[in-house]
Structure 1
Amino acid sequence: MTYNMAPPAMRILTLALLLATSLQAADLETDVCIYGATPGGVAAAVSAARSGSEVILIEPTARIGGLLTSGLSHTDFHSLESLTGSFLEFSQQVKAHYIKTYGAESEQVKASFEGTFGEPKVNLLILEQMLKDPRITIHRSTVLTSVQTQGEKVEAAEFKAGNETLKVQAKVFIDGSYEGDLMAKAGVKYHVGREGQDQYGESLAPEKGDSELQAYNFRFCATDDPANVVPITAPKGYKREDFLPVLDFLKPGVIDRVFGYPSKCIVKAQTPALPNNKYDLNDVSRGLVRLSMPGHNLAWPEGDEAARQAIFEEHVRYNVGLLYFLINDEAVPAHIQQPAKAWGWCKDEFTETDHLPPQLYVREARRMTGQHVYVQQDSEHAKDDARAKLFTASIAMGDYGNNCHGTSHEGPQIGGKHGGELYNPVPPYQIPYGALLPKERSNLLVPVAVSSSHVGFCALRLEPIWMSLGQAAGHAAAMAAQSGQPVQEVSVPALQAKLHQDKSATIYVADVLPGHALFDAVQWWGTAGGLHGLNPMPEKPGQRGKNLHGQYYEANPGHAAELDKSLDEATRTRWLALAGELGLTAAEKLAQASTRGDFIQAAFAAAAR
């Protein structure tokens, strides 16, 4: 009542004071601020909080999880033995959800493939649960607008959430975005496009550098279950004439179905199906008709919201429009159209966005040029070795390969041919800490737009690897925040020990997995170089184990520690020399070890003294 009775000048002053108080309340301080709740950003938040830091996680969209909750449900990896740390924890919780909901012997549990094939809504549920830590505060639909720096430090970042401005000051920042938006605004050097062969000596790079980017498309979630299907409708701006050229390819032996795997189809409906008869739809590698659109995404990495929205809508028009045409247009041959008519979007997925994924599959955008630029050679075999190049400063590992769906396109969108496509088999590989570190900023880590060449990035751009990199970044950020040290001065051995305790591997070991009594010891010894030289390079580079299905294989050969194996003299001599290099003093006990496991256990105990 007093406020209403006040004179106009007093009311204006009061409103100004209220506004100032409101803006002040939007200024936040924290230990670690993470921009981008991608898989890497989520893992960073979880590990930083577990290391005792207060965390603010900011996501520019309404949905956390990046592509892991936006349709990419057939996770990219080769062997289950490569899954450790945050991603393993995530997938185990997905599997546990299906066991609790449907029973341990259910078809849903089997279809989840150890929790790595989760429905988008289940993946979202589990990531939300992982983030339920009182030290983590999440801000959704909050977009980065500016970054303030002073000297080598990032002082603060400002964000827009509707009509509100949010300013965050943090001891350490992590850029978890696919685009590297925060690092770019912080003045960190980065690259967009492909490097030429002369820059890093990569055989898979183009002869000359260019501005090409790996193509984008949507990862739709579809079904042919009549109880859960929603018809695919024409997207905004649909034009029938845009899709008439596809009719020329709908011939037996060329393209004989719309939804299939792995070839002679329009879209890859990846098999086996996800739980509850859902399918992750993707671009068909080396296909005649593609969902991916090289060249149409070039403005995305450095584009503003409007530019990115325009690219998003163009991909909706083409990706959705193509499927709508094939299912509905009378010119499509009946033998193609009739089976396709049973398909549609999933009624219970992406309900807030008309059953379409809310995010586009941004396979590549900016890439930091940091302390270590990860290149093609970093994931290839060490000389005469089954294993890849050794990185004693490794903070993550992966098991996939350099994979690119194309960066250019010759001819018309429908019927032309992608260029820049590559699929390079390699052994499981390590990633050094330097790939997360910018040169310019002392309190910033970049685990997603990670420091790498185009070819190198093609081996890193996978959800399990991004989660491992994010997990490492989160622990490193917490260590730096608590010590006041620059992130570049974080003790790598201490970080590795923390990661091993958190069940995250820094080197691939096929027979000593997280939960094994000697996991920490074997990871420590292997990362120091002890497991290199045990097995020769296979006849075929990047040789994999027995195929399970699709892109999934049994454990990679030549990568087992074989702890019960007797210690031959050549290995004992080499391991004793390595123990000396590491400053271990238990020489007599090491010399008496009879098996590999005995030696590693004794060495680990000596290192802990």
Structure 2
Amino acid sequence: MITDLDLPVLAKAEVVVCGAGPAGVAAALAAARSGARVILLEQTGCCGGMSTAGLVPVFIHMSDRKNLVAAGICHEIISEMCRRMGQSKINFIWQHIHPEILKQVYDEKLSEAGVTTFFDVKVADTIMNGDTLNAVAVATVQGLKKICGKVWVDATGDGIVAAAAGVPFELGDAQGKTMSPTLCVQYSNIDLEAMREAEQRGEGAIPLWKKHKQQIPLAEHHIIGISEYGNGSGSGNLGHIYDVNTLDEAERSHCYTEGRRVANIIHDFYVKYVPGYEKSDLTATASLLGIRESRRILGEYQLTLSDYLEKRHFSDDIGCFYYGIDIHASSTNPEEQLNVGKRMDECNSSYEPGDNYGIPYRALIARKVRNLLVAGRCISAERPVQASLRVMPCCMITGVAAGCAAALAKDDGEIRALPAESLQREIRTTGAYLP
């Protein structure tokens, strides 16, 4: 945190959104469509975060199996992606992603809304005046500069802005261990017809992994397979990188080299054992590491496991969600890997179609800073709940709410003074679902 810094001003706006993943894109669109001048900052060269640069293969659980809880901006973007993919109907539970098409959709929607997007800029520090965030220092191709704003949305996933501003946070489990990340992959030259026929015979990648995993030099209990798109292409959330601290710079760097090693081992398995993949190519590993867990920023309210189990709703709900408590193992310990699924089943057994839990606005308000909201997987929640809401449709739900709140507070930055009813009314104008 810096109190003052004499840096050249790169740009200024009423609302500044840091991070252009699903949460950040949704926040920027919602704020701009609500009448604010918006800047969106992204450290990579494209919008979409895990849905594009991260090669995450699917959008999961837009629905609670009865209600479209990720209606509005999330549904709008995915609908357009599916239309350009030639797909007439969205799979609201398990929708495959074409990352290159999705990049174009994000670009066009943001441009139409009048959002100013900066790529290749990375937040280096915050510039504070007491409890007010005035600017962020960003690393650019011309060195350090600053971007100024009235209201801020931290959608970096890692809570970089909030942590730099001195907001307290939690990390990992009771011992500080974080869920294992994944470096997702992209395959081409898949014989999709042979693959589908094999899956119908029960000879798909998942059962074959269980059958042959003793011959594969990886301590990996299971894999989830490849999600197809295009003409013989697909992306896969394959393999884990264990025993790493996702906030340690050296260990995070190691994840990329280790992820590429794991990717080649798993691709060898596909070529050798899985019908349809005999001539497939490992076209790419992701340019962005798939981090499931790092900081959980502490807000004015922290969502608890009890909230999840009781399907609790709040007077200041900004949305609702349902996805299982999906905690991935942090180590290669086979007992830990097996217990992950058992614990998830125990926690989720009470949820029926149409059941969901509420997300209060207070969980998006960062403590100790007057004008800072958080969105995405770093919002204020206990670890089990974060393991549910970290997936991309929910990141977009919280992004929309943060963007609407930022736009309403753009004149004075007083995000805590917003009446819940006014915010909820603004959120509904985006087409979002609020029960």
Which of the five TM-score ranges fits, normalised by the shorter chain?
0.7 to 0.9
Partner of residue 362, structure 1: 291
> 6, 20, 30: which one pairs with 2:13?
30
Partner of residue 144, structure 2: 165
**For structure 1, which runs of at least 5 residues remain unmatched after alignment?**
1-22, 100-107, 195-208, 228-249, 259-263, 284-290, 329-333, 347-354, 382-387, 508-609
Q: State the one-letter code of the partner of 1:474.
A: G
The higher relative CO (CA closer than 8 Å, separation ≥ 6) is in 2
Distance in structure 2 (CA, Å) of the matches to 1:90 and 1:175: 21
Partner of residue 234, structure 2: 279
Distance in structure 2 (CA, Å) of the matches to 1:57 and 1:316: 30
Is 2:178 the counterpart of 1:213? Answer: yes
Deviations 1:387-425 (A, max 9, x none): x212121001112121112233327xxx99466554232
Number of residues paired by the alignment?
397
Q: CA deviation at 1:376?
A: 1.2
Cα pair distance change 1:154/1:96, threshold 3 Å:
same
Distance in structure 2 (CA, Å) of the matches to 1:503 and 1:252: 43
Q: State the one-letter code of the partner of 1:467.
A: M
Cα pair distance change 1:41/1:72, threshold 3 Å:
same
Q: State the one-letter code of the partner of 1:32.
A: V
Q: CA deviation at 1:225?
A: 3.2
Q: State the one-letter code of the partner of 1:176.
A: A
Cα pair distance change 1:186/1:171, threshold 3 Å:
same
Query: Helix, strand or coil for the counterpart of 2:299?
Result: coil
> 258, 263, 274: which one pairs with 1:314?
258
Deviations 1:125-163 (A, max 9, x none): 111111114631111111111111111111111101123
Distance in structure 1 (CA, Å) of the matches to 2:117 and 2:84: 23
Partner of residue 591, structure 1: none
Distance in structure 1 (CA, Å) of the matches to 2:222 and 2:277: 11
Query: Helix, strand or coil for the counterpart of 2:424?
Result: helix
Distance in structure 1 (CA, Å) of the matches to 2:124 and 2:256: 20
Cα pair distance change 1:83/1:438, threshold 3 Å:
closer
Within 5 A, what are the aligned runs for 1:186-205? 186-194=165-173
Is 2:332 the counterpart of 1:377? Answer: no
Q: State the one-letter code of the partner of 1:215.
A: S
Distance in structure 2 (CA, Å) of the matches to 1:429 and 1:326: 40
Within 5 A, what are the aligned runs for 1:359-438? 359-381=288-310, 388-410=311-333, 417=337, 420=340, 422-423=343-344, 424-425=347-348, 426=351, 427-438=355-366
Partner of residue 408, structure 2: 479
Partner of residue 54, structure 1: 37
Partner of residue 139, structure 1: 118
Distance in structure 2 (CA, Å) of the matches to 1:253 and 1:150: 55
Within 5 A, what are the aligned runs for 1:424-503? 424-425=347-348, 426=351, 427-448=355-376, 449-482=378-411, 484-503=412-431
Distance in structure 1 (CA, Å) of the matches to 2:267 and 2:79: 36
Do the aligned residues in 1 keep the contact of 2:210 with 2:222 (CA within 8 Å)?
Answer: no
Quote the RMSD (CA, aligned, Å).
2.9
Cα pair distance change 1:27/1:141, threshold 3 Å:
closer
Query: Helix, strand or coil for the counterpart of 1:168?
Result: strand
Query: Helix, strand or coil for the counterpart of 1:159?
Result: strand
Distance in structure 2 (CA, Å) of the matches to 1:252 and 1:176: 38
Is 2:130 the counterpart of 1:151? Answer: yes
Cα pair distance change 1:43/1:327, threshold 3 Å:
closer
Cα pair distance change 1:252/1:73, threshold 3 Å:
closer
Within 5 A, what are the aligned runs for 1:331-346? 336=273, 340-346=277-283
Do the aligned residues in 2 keep the contact of 1:40 with 1:467 (CA within 8 Å)?
Answer: yes
Distance in structure 2 (CA, Å) of the matches to 1:37 and 1:90: 14
Q: State the one-letter code of the partner of 1:274.
A: Y
> 66, 83, 98: which one pairs with 2:49?
66
Query: Helix, strand or coil for the counterpart of 1:404?
Result: coil
Cα pair distance change 1:53/1:253, threshold 3 Å:
closer
Query: Helix, strand or coil for the counterpart of 1:504?
Result: coil
Q: CA deviation at 1:493?
A: 0.7
TM-score, reference length from structure 1: 0.60
Distance in structure 1 (CA, Å) of the matches to 2:172 and 2:221: 30
Q: CA deviation at 1:371?
A: 0.8
Deviations 1:302-358 (A, max 9, x none): x44x653333222222x2231354367xxxxx6x27764332235xxxxxxxx3221
Is 2:109 the counterpart of 1:130? Answer: yes
Q: State the one-letter code of the partner of 1:293.
A: I
Q: State the one-letter code of the partner of 1:113.
A: N
Partner of residue 211, structure 2: 255
Distance in structure 2 (CA, Å) of the matches to 1:487 and 1:121: 36
Q: CA deviation at 1:480?
A: 0.9
Q: State the one-letter code of the partner of 2:324.
A: G
Cα pair distance change 1:266/1:255, threshold 3 Å:
farther
Deviations 1:425-459 (A, max 9, x none): 23311100011011200100011210011111111
Do the aligned residues in 2 keep the contact of 1:49 with 1:133 (CA within 8 Å)?
Answer: no
Q: State the one-letter code of the partner of 1:56.
A: I
Do the aligned residues in 2 keep the contact of 1:267 with 1:281 (CA within 8 Å)?
Answer: no
Query: Helix, strand or coil for the counterpart of 2:158?
Result: coil
Do the aligned residues in 2 keep the contact of 1:408 with 1:420 (CA within 8 Å)?
Answer: no
Do the aligned residues in 1 keep the contact of 2:191 with 2:276 (CA within 8 Å)?
Answer: no
Is 2:266 the counterpart of 1:323? Answer: yes
Q: State the one-letter code of the partner of 2:281.
A: G
Partner of residue 118, structure 1: 97
Do the aligned residues in 1 keep the contact of 2:182 with 2:240 (CA within 8 Å)?
Answer: yes
Do the aligned residues in 1 keep the contact of 2:191 with 2:232 (CA within 8 Å)?
Answer: no
Do the aligned residues in 2 keep the contact of 1:409 with 1:418 (CA within 8 Å)?
Answer: no
Partner of residue 294, structure 1: 242
Partner of residue 233, structure 1: none
**For structure 2, which runs of at least 5 residues remain unmatched after alignment?**
1-6, 193-205, 215-219
> 67, 75, 81: which one pairs with 1:88?
75
Distance in structure 2 (CA, Å) of the matches to 1:192 and 1:67: 20
Distance in structure 2 (CA, Å) of the matches to 1:166 and 1:485: 22
Q: State the one-letter code of the partner of 2:82.
A: K
Cα pair distance change 1:270/1:489, threshold 3 Å:
same
Do the aligned residues in 2 keep the contact of 1:191 with 1:369 (CA within 8 Å)?
Answer: yes
Distance in structure 2 (CA, Å) of the matches to 1:275 and 1:324: 19
